[in-house]
């Protein structure tokens, strides 16, 4: 069984996803949370507000950017 994040990511790779579609067609009630989790994993997803108060999400590229760190005094810092 695919996770909600995987289902959303597959849909975004095909094009765009609307919050209405995520909620009512895909049965994902917390789609904004799943989108945030994907963003936290490095995916560049743009949120476009619509006049009807829904949101359309668009994946700007297919693969997440790798996180880069520098080490100073034994402490890793995200750059």
Specify the number of domains making up the chain: 1
pLDDT of residue 79: 75
The parent domain of residue 23 ranges over 4-78
Q: Which residues contact 33 (CB under 8 A, 6 or more apart)?
A: none
Query: Which segments of the chain are extended strands (E)?
Result: 16-18, 45-49, 55-59, 69-72, 75-78
Q: What is the pTM of this model?
A: 0.73
Q: What CATH number is attached to the domain comprising 70? A: 1.10.10
pLDDT of residue 73: 87
Give 30-77 pLDDT, tens digit per residue.
Answer: 999 999 999 999 899 999 999 998 899 999 865 666 777 888 888 888
Distance CA 34, CA 28 (A): 9
Distance CA 31, CA 23 (A): 7
């Amino acid at each position: 069984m695919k996770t909600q994040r995987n289902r959303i990511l597959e849909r975004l790779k095909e094009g765009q996803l609307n919050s209405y579609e995520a909620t009512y067609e895909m049965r994902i009630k917390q789609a904004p949370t799943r989108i945030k989790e994907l963003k936290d994993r490095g995916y560049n997803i743009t949120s476009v507000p619509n006049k009807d108060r829904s949101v359309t999400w668009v994946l700007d590229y297919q693969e997440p950017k790798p996180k880069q760190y520098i080490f100073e005094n034994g402490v890793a810092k995200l750059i």
